[in-house]
């Protein structure tokens, strides 16, 4: 997860500096203001619309749009998993451990040398004085980025198609032949499927044993049109890696994340944001791991905007950036507060607007601090206290802290929850039947 907001003045690659260390012309104040104003606006759009769509997603019955619920256990493990993944990627790109046949050699010198074939590490055997060279990169970075590009090409097309589908539906004519399709992959033999051996008789009221579903995606002809339009953006990104195509994919990933990732309660949100608060501060301030991985990856895992757009137009290349983690993580918490607002049935969105304003304040403070100290900042350092503290203060003022922390959302994909609900319904029906008999 990339969560650092870049510094426009430090000349680093992730902040738009030249990769070979050559100095860039300083950005104009207008260019800096335009870049960070645009990043702020782009961050707000997926949070606002993703939160609204998360409400419809929670109420919907379409299996392809079912949200993924994050529990407190998931939230506690997420920063650890993210840290291991980040460190693993860093080692994968930058470190290659020597061959086991040389483990007996005493490490006397370890240095990197530039060559046409990339960086090498030199180990000198103290006995023979022979130098043994090992590549520091396991695989060519170009091949890794090509693999990542293909992966995000497919993932980005699907995400962008799902994002634009509600907007495109308004442009289709009423007589458009909108056929329905379903892509279903299940685990199990044909005997366990509907109509196979062991299936209950129609009208018996009994349910058949369900096969575990691996993929269950419902779509229609309009979705296929949206998929075709998204493929054009995907090809553009794959061939050119243009920053506009990168941002279209990044916005789609962010909106889908806010819409489809649901926290089950406010306590879980506090655990997740608190853990990632520590994660972000450590990996940005404590090490160069996150910056190195961000520079090595050519993938739409961040939003970028050129600070020299006014001078170079669409071919500008001096970018400021904002990691998608700084959008999605606070965004799913803000979306949860919107659903909490609706559950109160007071026709007000107090907590949603409060947390939304807190996000604007936190991100604006991040930009201000970064501009003052001329150094990249972990945005969650400022976003987490704002997004949690402001709504809690409002709840304290309104006397609704208990209601806020007792609000709970069930996981619609959890078989145990479905089974438990079925048992409760069956028990209720049985009790009603007994009451009728007694009467």
Does residue 250 fall inside a structural domain?
A: yes
Which amino acids are annotated catalytic?
Answer: 280, 326
Q: Give the pLDDT of residue 210.
A: 57
User: Domain for residue 120, yes or no?
Assistant: no
What's the gap between Cα 367 and its chain centre?
21
Q: Is 418 within a domain?
A: no
264, 335 Cβ separation under 8 angstroms: no
- How many domains does one find in the chain? 1
- How far apart CA 25 and CA 131 sit, in angstroms, is 43
CA dihedral (113, 116, 120, 122) positive or negative: negative
Are 265 and 405 within 8 A, CB to CB?
yes
Domain around 378: 29-87+141-172+215-406
Model confidence pTM above 0.85: no
Strand ranges, E, within 221-281: 261-263
Encode the chain (439 residues) as per-residue pLDDT tens digits. 555 565 544 333 333 333 333 456 667 889 899 999 999 999 999 999 999 999 988 776 555 567 889 999 999 999 999 999 888 888 776 654 444 344 334 344 444 444 444 455 555 555 666 665 555 555 566 777 788 888 999 999 999 999 999 888 888 888 888 888 888 888 766 555 544 444 455 555 545 455 677 777 788 888 899 999 999 999 999 888 899 999 999 999 999 999 999 999 999 999 999 999 999 889 888 888 887 777 777 788 889 999 989 888 888 888 888 989 999 999 999 999 999 999 998 888 999 999 999 999 999 999 999 888 877 788 999 999 999 999 999 999 999 999 999 999 876 555 444 444 444 444 444 344 434 444 4
Backbone phi and psi for residue 426, each to the nearest 5 degrees, phi listed first:
-65, -40
Residue 208 lies in a domain: no
In DSSP notation, 91-142 reads HHHH--PPPGGGTTS------EE--TT--EEEEE-TTT--EEEEES-SS-HH
- Does residue 166 fall inside a structural domain? yes
């Amino acid at each position: 997860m990339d969560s650092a907001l870049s510094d426009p003045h430090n000349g680093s690659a992730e902040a738009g500096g030249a990769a070979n260390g050559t100095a860039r012309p300083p950005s104009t104040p207008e260019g800096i203001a335009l870049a960070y104003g645009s990043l702020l606006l782009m961050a707000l759009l997926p949070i606002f619309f993703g939160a609204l769509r998360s409400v419809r997603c929670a109420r919907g019955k379409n299996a392809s749009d079912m949200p993924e619920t994050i529990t407190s256990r998931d939230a506690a493990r997420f920063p650890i998993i993210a840290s291991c993944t980040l460190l693993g990627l860093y080692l994968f790109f930058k470190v290659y451990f020597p061959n086991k046949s040389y483990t007996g050699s005493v490490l006397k010198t370890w240095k990197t040398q530039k060559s046409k074939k990339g960086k090498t590490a030199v180990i000198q055997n103290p006995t023979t004085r022979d130098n043994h060279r090992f590549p520091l990169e396991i695989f060519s970075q170009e091949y890794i980025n090509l693999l990542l590009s293909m992966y995000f090409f497919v993932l980005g097309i699907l995400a962008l198609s799902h994002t634009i589908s509600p907007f495109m539906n308004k442009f289709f004519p009423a007589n458009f032949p909108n056929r329905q399709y379903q892509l279903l992959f299940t685990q199990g033999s044909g005997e366990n499927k509907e109509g196979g051996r062991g299936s209950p008789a129609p009208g018996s009221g009994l349910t058949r044993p369900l096969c575990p579903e691996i993929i269950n995606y419902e779509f229609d002809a309009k979705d296929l049109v949206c998929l075709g339009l998204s493929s054009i953006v995907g090809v553009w990104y794959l061939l050119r890696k243009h920053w506009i195509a990168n941002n279209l994919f990044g916005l789609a990933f962010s909106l889908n994340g806010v819409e489809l990732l649901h926290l089950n309660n406010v306590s879980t949100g506090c655990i997740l944001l608190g853990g990632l608060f520590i994660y972000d501060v450590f990996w940005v301030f404590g090490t160069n791991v996150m910056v190195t991985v961000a520079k090595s990856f050519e993938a739409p895992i961040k939003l970028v905007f050129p600070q020299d757009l006014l001078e170079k137009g669409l071919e500008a290349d001096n970018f400021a950036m904002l990691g998608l983690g700084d959008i999605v993580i606070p965004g799913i918490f803000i979306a949860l507060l919107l659903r909490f607002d609706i559950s109160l049935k007071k026709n007000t969105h107090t907590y949603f607007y409060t947390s939304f304003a807190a996000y604007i304040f936190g991100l604006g403070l991040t930009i201000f601090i970064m501009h003052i100290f001329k150094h990249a900042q972990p945005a969650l350092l400022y976003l987490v206290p704002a997004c949690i503290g402001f709504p809690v203060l409002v709840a304290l003022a309104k006397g609704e802290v208990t209601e806020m922390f007792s609000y709970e959302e069930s996981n619609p994909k959890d078989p145990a929850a479905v089974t438990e609900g079925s048992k409760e319904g069956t028990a209720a029906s049985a009790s009603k039947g007994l009451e009728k008999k007694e009467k």
